[in-house]
Amino acid sequence: QVQLVESGGGLVQPGGSLSLSCAASGTIYSIYVMAWYRQAPGKQRELVAVVTSGGTINYADSVKGRFTVSRDNAKNTVYLQMNSLVPEDTAVYLCKANALSTNYVRKDYWGQGTQVTVSS
């Protein structure tokens, strides 16, 4: 099995910054895609940013220019630097990894999520 653990959420004022990280562990053979999603109360889960093992990156339009995703393949970790935060960024942020485990099963794995609240 593959486990994902997010960290770094919290409360921040509008205009502030937060940095999230998500570390994968367990019976990992290879991780292909790592991504950040978010889900606000009463809203559907939405993709925030995605990075492939080859370094291809895509962002949701709502976060372009404000958020930066990065990945350390050696550490099986993905990061999300969030700047110029606005109240609309308030949500639970979840990490997802598309990974191949050592028993050669490839599937999506999800973390438990970390709360980000942007409020004055």
Tens-place pLDDT, residues 1-55: 899 999 999 999 999 999 999 999 999 999 999 999 999 999 999 999 999 999 9
Q: What residues does 19 pair with on adjacent strands?
A: 81
Q: What is the pLDDT of residue 98?
A: 96
Nearest CA among 44, 1, 41, 36 for reference residue 19: 36
Q: Which residue has the tokens 């609240």?
A: 117
Enumerate residues 6+ apart whose C-beta is below 8 A from 119. 11, 13, 14, 87, 90
Q: What is the pLDDT of residue 115?
A: 97
CB 116 within 8 A of CB 90: yes
Enumerate residues 6+ apart whose C-beta is below 8 A from 24. 2, 3, 4, 31, 34, 76, 77, 97, 99, 109
Tokens of 83: 């700047």
Q: What is the mean pLDDT of residues 98-119?
A: 94
Q: What is the pLDDT of residue 1?
A: 85
pLDDT in tens, 96-108: 999 999 888 999 9
pLDDT in tens, 62-91: 999 999 999 999 999 999 999 999 999 999
